[in-house]
Each structure stands twice: as structure tokens, then as C-alpha cells.
Amino acid sequence: MKKPLLGLAMMPEAEFVSAILPLLQNNDVDVLEWSFDTLYDVKEPEWLSGLLDFYAENNRLLGHGVYYSLFDARWTERQESWLKKLKKEFKHRKYNHITEHFGFMNTENFHQGVPLPVPLHSKTLQIGKDRLCRLQDAVEIPVGIENLAFSFSVDDVKEQGEFLAELIEDIDGFLILDLHNIYCQSCNFEIDMQDIIRMYPLEKVKEIHLSGGSWQESAYGKKPVRRDTHDDNIPEVILNVLPEVLAQCNNLEYIIIERLGHTLDTEAKKHVFFDDFYRVKAIIDISDFSAGSNKVWNKKNKGYSGPVEDLLLYDEQTKLTKMLFEGNSVQAVKNEKFHYFKPENWDEEMIATAQQIIKKWNPY
């Protein structure tokens, strides 16, 4: 197994490239990951296009989708349009692989924020597999899924790894293991990080994400909630666990550090960011990758018919999102009777957190 390449999630802000310029000038950034759909309808700045094209021409560019929304229970024109734009993007620029987030986020008018968890149910699995097949059909490169930071309950945390393994099976897909997302779950549900990591199919991990985040004050005067906000340094506990994770992921190819573009706005923050980058680089350099073997991927031509839909699940996704947005009491959410969702088992703190996230991203 070759040593994994270390890179950054590229941000569209000019101040971000200005901040990371020393890393680029030193040729330390092996690979870039680009969220191509964030600028689907906007012209890319020339400096950004030039940089992305350079990495693409050298087989060092990864694609990371944000807005496909894998588990929307209705198939809409929006998703058809997203796939058409994806095909156009992939004709224009070469990517090594493409990834998407686990969860749903695009019901009715709620188009921004973070993906919310889906019920880990056979029907949602069927919908997710259908959406992934359509995504895979659109491109000739491997497709992967990133684990989710946000969970409503400890059961969500414990079952996500196995669910993801089944989800990617039909397309021979892979996983991004986001260690800060695992850290959020570890803090919020008081489970050891390694115990959660062991619940994932680590042989399927092709990419690791590293980032920092923030603490949100408790709505109930309990412990604060850990959020995956990409606006701070990588927590020490993640750097400490990284060598052991590297030893467990035998098909790992890429390690990507994520940081929001506008958050490197002081020399002190840049200094800490560079420290994190070079610490991760040093961990990679001293790790032994001789035991693994990067697997060869072959596209599976899996046929499918009409889109899998479930209008009851769609109605529940819409209703839940609306209840969270409108600030219904946490108890009202817990008392609501759903077929697929089980809010009676959800953590009150996490319901309150979901309300805040949706209000932040959809203020009107």
C-alpha cells in the first residue's frame, strides 16, 4: 500500500488561498478536494479555476458533493438537474473520485444547512442505494459516502457504520471516515472514539477527513454539544487516535484537512493551522503502510428502473424539518407520531441543536 496523499479541502474565498499559499509554494499539498456543486451556478474566479485545473491535470483532484441529498424520499427535477450539471463538470475537469454526505437536507424550502440523519430502515436503504446507483451511473470514477457528525440518538451512532457498509455494496463504493464527525458523536453520546470507529467497515475507507469544530452551550444546562463547524484547530484527541486509525485502514489513499475559508483571518490562526498540517504529515511519514494494498476499482453496470420513492417518508421528512424550523418545543417533537422516525428515542439536546442549525441556515 502506498503512503496516503495529504491535502486540503479547497475553499472559494480568495483569503483562503492567500492563507494556504506557503503550503502550496512548498509543494506540501499533495491533493485538493473541491465541493464542485457549491459554485454550480456561479462563475469560478480565474485563480480558483487555474488551481483546480492544475491539480486535475496531475491526477490530484477529488470531488466532494454537498447538495445531492442522498436520502430525499422523492425524486425531483432538482436531483435530475444536479446530475446533469455533474456530468458537465466531469467533462470539463478530471476528478479521481467523488463523494457525498450521508443524510437528507433538501425537503421543500429547506435547502441549506447540514444533512439530517435518516431512519436506518430497509426502505431508506433502498432509496439510498437507488440514488447512489444514479450518481455512479453519471460518472466513470469511484463513488463514496462520508459518515455524518449529527445524530439524534445513540442508536443512530451505533448503527451508522453497518448501514453505510450495506449502502455502498451495490456500486463497490467506499467511505470517507471523518474523524471529527466521530469525535462529535463521541462527545455528544459519551462513547469512546475507538469504540465508534470499530463499528465501521474500515477496509472500505479510502479517505479520511480531519477538522476542528466548536462547542455549543447546552439548552438544558447539561454538557455542551460538539458541532462540526470546521472553524478551529484539530482536537488533540483526534491527532492522538490518528496513528491507530491509519494502521486499521488498509485501502486508505487520501487524508484531507478541512477548514472554512474565512476562519484563517489572523496570523495566530494560520500558525495553528500550519502546525496541524505538519503534525498530520509527520504522523503519515512515520506510519507503516506496508501491510495494506490499494484495491483496484471496476465500475459495476447495475441497471435500475424508475426512481425509488416513498411519499410517506417524504411527508415525514418535510414535517420533521418544518417542526424543527418553526421551533416547536422539544417535547412536541418527541411526542409526534411518525412511521419511520422514532423521536421518542431521541436525545433532547440533539433535537434542540437541530432546531438551531436549521434556523441558522434558513433564517427567513
pLDDT the model gives residue 142 = 97
Beta strands (DSSP E) in 225-355 are 225-227, 254-257
What whole-number distance in Å separates Cα of residue 21 and Cα of residue 57?
20
Task: Output the pTM of the full model.
Answer: 0.95
pLDDT the model gives residue 218 = 81
* Straight-line distance from the first to the last Cα atom of the chain, in angstroms, rounded to the nearest whole number: 50
Q: Over its length of 364 residues, how does the chain's per-residue pLDDT go in tens digits?
A: 789 999 999 999 999 999 999 999 999 999 999 999 988 878 899 999 999 999 999 999 999 998 898 999 999 898 999 999 999 999 999 999 999 999 887 555 544 556 788 889 999 999 999 999 999 999 999 999 999 999 999 999 999 999 999 999 999 999 999 999 999 999 999 999 999 999 999 999 999 999 999 999 887 767 899 999 999 999 999 999 999 999 999 999 999 999 999 999 999 999 999 999 999 999 999 998 876 666 788 888 777 789 999 999 999 998 998 899 888 899 999 999 999 999 999 999 999 998 888 876 654 4
Strand partners, 176: 146, 207
DSSP 263: G
Q: All 3 cell numbers of residue 143?
A: 463513488
The CA–CA distances, whole Å, from 211 to 39, 236, 257, 280 equal 22, 11, 6, 11
pLDDT the model gives residue 114 = 64
Q: All 3 cell numbers of residue 5?
A: 496523499
* Single-letter amino acid, residue 29: V
What whole-number distance in Å separates Cα of residue 170 and Cα of residue 192?
31
pLDDT the model gives residue 141 = 96
pLDDT the model gives residue 357 = 82
Topology of 5-308 in CATH? TIM Barrel (3.20.20)
The CA–CA distances, whole Å, from 248 to 138, 148, 201, 242 equal 31, 20, 10, 10
